[in-house]
Structure 1
Amino acid sequence: MNTNVNDEAGVERNAAGRKVTEVAVGVLVQPDGRYLLTQRPVGKPYEGYWEFPGGKLEPGESVEAALARELHEELGIDVEASHRWHTLEHDYPHAYVRLYFCKVTAWRGDPHGREGQALAWQTLPAEVAPLLPATIPVLEWLAAD
């Protein structure tokens, strides 16, 4: 049951009154099952932690449009095939986020860190650490697929 409400300015807030930040997240999966993790850059919350790439939705932007924009900005790729997979809400100390995880199965270009972030193709279990807390359930979903 969703207990979130919109405040007088139309901003969605969770039951504790925290703003809900919507984020499109790409789970890039190769045909052999490898998936891509990126390392959070210096100066951001949880710097050095590993996560799936993505970013915030802009006002009026769809999840799919945000995903395509963010993956192009961060990784230099153009999404050719993706679908919404799972949605997860997570309460971090710095932000309450609603994460729209999208499986990306086809893209044009070779992913590279356009913002200086490290990239790592992984298999289960992940070998990089530490993992961003909301990344852990995604690895469980990948294992169950």
Structure 2
Amino acid sequence: MVPNPLLVVAAALVDADGRVLVQQRPPGKPMAGLWEFPGGKIEPGERPEAALIRELHEELGIDVEAACLAPATFASEPLGDRHLLLLLYALRKWKGVPEARHATALKWVKPLELHRLDMPPADKPLIGLLEALL
């Protein structure tokens, strides 16, 4: 039995040039300064897609339709006394221009360039699949 699992959703926003959006975690947060895919925790009783739509609006100021979220892959990582299950969706269509509302910075990068960024342990295994998909 996994003790106290932490369910998190994230999006790989992909632009017309095949670049992916990552955001930098702000000072004062766990893993501050690391680059990650935007997203956040799934609240109790919330569907993963609804959580991601909510998080992308809060974090980036963009609006997303559930039909535009394509399940891509997941990561499973120990995280202290909890276990993180991260669901990653690919997203190519949204309304608005992403802005760093809760992050220090945003950056558009080619999937291959993700290997050079300092990222949380759960995000690293997702890079290879993104390279293959894009």
TM over 0.5: yes
> Quick check: 2:63–2:96 contact (8 Å CA) kept in 1?
yes
Aligned-residue identity in percent: 42
Structure 1 residue 46 corresponds to structure 2 residue 31 = yes
Name 1:110's counterpart in structure 2.
97
Aligned pairs (5 A) from 1:59-138: 59-80=44-65, 81-93=68-80, 95-123=82-110, 124-126=112-114, 129-138=117-126
Structure 1 residue 55 corresponds to structure 2 residue 43 = no
Q: What RMSD over aligned residues (CA atoms) do the two structures have, in Å?
A: 1.6
Query: TM-score, length-normalised on structure 2?
Result: 0.89
Name 1:7's counterpart in structure 2.
none
Structure having the higher Rg? 1
More deviation, 107-116/124-133: 124-133
> Quick check: 1:75–1:112 contact (8 Å CA) kept in 2?
yes
Quick one: which amino acid aligns to residue 45 of structure 1? P
- Structure 2 distance, partners of 1:44, 1:95, is 17
More deviation, 50-59/128-137: 128-137
Quick one: which amino acid aligns to residue 20 of structure 1? P
In the alignment of these two chains, the number of paired residues is 130
Please state whether the residue corresponding to 2:94 is helix, strand or coil: strand
- Structure 2 distance, partners of 1:129, 1:87, is 19
Name 2:21's counterpart in structure 1.
36
Write the deviation string for residues 102-142 of structure 1: whole angstroms up to 9, x where unpaired: 11110000000112421000012227631211221221111
* Larger helix share, 1 or 2: 2
Stretches of structure 1 that go unaligned for 5 or more consecutive residues are 5-13
Cα distance change on mapping 1:142 and 1:74 into 2, 3 Å: same
Cα distance change on mapping 1:98 and 1:127 into 2, 3 Å: closer
